[in-house]
Amino acid sequence: MQPECRSLTDGLCIVSEPGEWLGEGQTIIIDEKPDAVYLEPSTAIQIKIEDWTLIFDPGENKPFSVGMSFPNAKLYPQGKNVGMTIEHNEKKCDVVEGAFTDSILQSEEENGLGKNPISAFDIRFTMRCNDAPQVLYGRVKLSW
């Protein structure tokens, strides 16, 4: 994780490598509480903050478990496989290669699936967009 994102309280931190398409090679820090919901009936989480939308999906019938890493994420939705997508100002990727981890997910559960509202999360992620070599690093956090 990039140093700029380590001290994030609530919000979004993006570190985009030079030439990376979505973040345009910039470091972006948005210091406000994001909105998040489960995309029912799945375990995918959709997070919105300013002009960013992020979706993380551990895959069909998998709970979004605290501390678990989800490697080999492809473009959401992926059905039974791990999926993710990140959109910025209506720009999105057609091909995604990424990974994410959550360290403090909090919500109620029903039959092993998360339930709205989501009260806390701390998701770290990496993503390559459209087979480009540059990486988008990030962290999105909501404290309860």
The 10s digit of each residue's pLDDT in 79-133 is 789 999 999 999 999 999 999 998 877 776 665 556 777 888 899 999 999 999 9
Cα torsion angle, 137, 93, 123, 69, sign: negative
pTM strictly above 0.85: yes
Nearest-angstrom CA–CA distance, 29 and 39: 25
| Annotated domain spans of the chain | 35-134
Nearest-angstrom CA–CA distance, 99 and 88: 18
Note whether 101 and 137 are within 8 A (CB).
Answer: no
The 10s digit of each residue's pLDDT in 34-87 is 999 988 777 889 999 999 999 999 887 677 777 888 999 999 988 789 999 999
Q: Kindly report the backbone phi and psi dihedral angles of residue 50, in degrees, each rounded to the nearest multiple of 5, phi listed first.
A: 50, -125
